[in-house]
Amino acid sequence: MNRIFGMSKAKAPKPTLDDAITSTDSRVGAVEVKIKKLDGELARFRDQMKKMRDGPGKNAVKQRALRVLQQKKMYEAQRDQLMQQSFNMESAVFATENIKNTMSTMQAMQDSNKEMKKQYKNVDIDKIYDMQDEMAELLEQANEVQELMGRSYNLPEDLDEQDLEAELDALGDDLVFEENDVPSYLNDAEPEMPDLLPDAPDGAISHQPVSDKPAETHATAEHAMRM
């Protein structure tokens, strides 16, 4: 059956703006190449005309240069048109992307709004106010308990620090300690050191002459050895 009726050709994908922009930019590049080639020819003709004298030859070169210049102007106009088309398509792509981003943002905000409404249905504002009030009351009771536990007993509450200092200065010499009440290690008197050295003799030391007997004994021993 396929041989008789043939097969349907696959449909080519539709060109997108990006494809059109790419194609247009390539055409702009090709036109610029032609313009540069014509610029080279014009420069060559200009150099020839500078070296030639006025006459038919110079006029012929001038006519050729004018035709090349006309072609250059035509290509420049085509290039400008293509560049404007490419710019317009890029602007359209930019606007399309902005619209897509805007729609995505709106969809995300709508989803978030629905979720917030769903969650707020489970929130009771009155319960939150009651909880805050209860916490404040509990904290106040805790502070009151701490004040009660830190209360001082049997002390007058109207004591003035200046009055206490004045009373302390008035005591003055009334605070006299007896000597026996002071510990021994606080006494300023130095302790007496025991006398450990023996007493020196009262009389003068007599000097006795040294005996010469050891010397005589040594001489006697040498005489005996010689014999």
More confident: 28 or 217? 28
Stated length of the chain: 227
Angstrom distance (rounded) from CA 62 to CA 55: 11
Confidence of residue 36 (pLDDT cuts 50, 70, 90): very high
Q: What is the mean pLDDT of residues 177-189?
A: 52
Q: Are 48 and 64 in contact (CB under 8 A)?
A: no
Give the gyration radius of the chain's Cα atoms.
64
22 and 85 Cβ atoms separated by less than 8 Å = no
At residue 75, the pLDDT reads 92
Q: Given this model, what pLDDT does residue 4 score?
A: 56
170-to-14, 56, 166 alpha-carbon distances in Å: 111, 138, 6
Query: What gap in Å lies between CA 197 and CA 102, rounded to an integer?
Result: 113
Helices (H), 172-212: none
Q: What end-to-end distance do the CA atoms of the chain give, in Å?
A: 166
**Looking at residue 179, what is its pLDDT?**
47
Closest CA to 89 of 14, 15, 13, 20: 20
Q: Which range among 8-22, 76-90, 114-128 shows the weakest confidence by mean pLDDT?
A: 8-22
User: Among 14-28, 75-89, 190-204, which stretch is predicted with the lowest mean pLDDT?
Assistant: 190-204
The whole-number pLDDT of residue 118 equals: 87
pLDDT value, residue 178:
47
CA 61 to chain centre: 72
What single DSSP character describes residue 157?
A: T
| Mean per-residue pLDDT, 57-81 | 89
Q: In this structure, what token pair is assigned to residue 201?
A: 């003799």
Q: How far apart are CA 105 and CA 107, in angstroms?
A: 5
Mean pLDDT of 42-49: 86
Residue 220 has pLDDT above 70, yes or no: no
Q: Where are the beta strands (DSSP E) in the chain?
A: none
Check pLDDT > 80 for residue 215: no
Contact 35, 75 (CB under 8 A): yes
Contacts of 38 (CB under 8 A, 6+ apart): 68, 69, 71, 72, 75
Mean predicted confidence (pLDDT) in 54-74: 87
Q: Are residues 121 and 67 in contact, defined by beta-carbon separation less than 8 angstroms?
A: no
pLDDT of residue 24: 92
> Which ranges in 52-124 belong to alpha helices (H)?
56-120
pLDDT for residue 139: 93
- Of residues 12 and 199, more confidently modeled: 12
pLDDT at 199: 57
Q: What percent of the chain has pLDDT over 70?
A: 67
Reported confidence tier of residue 194, pLDDT bands at 50, 70, 90:
low
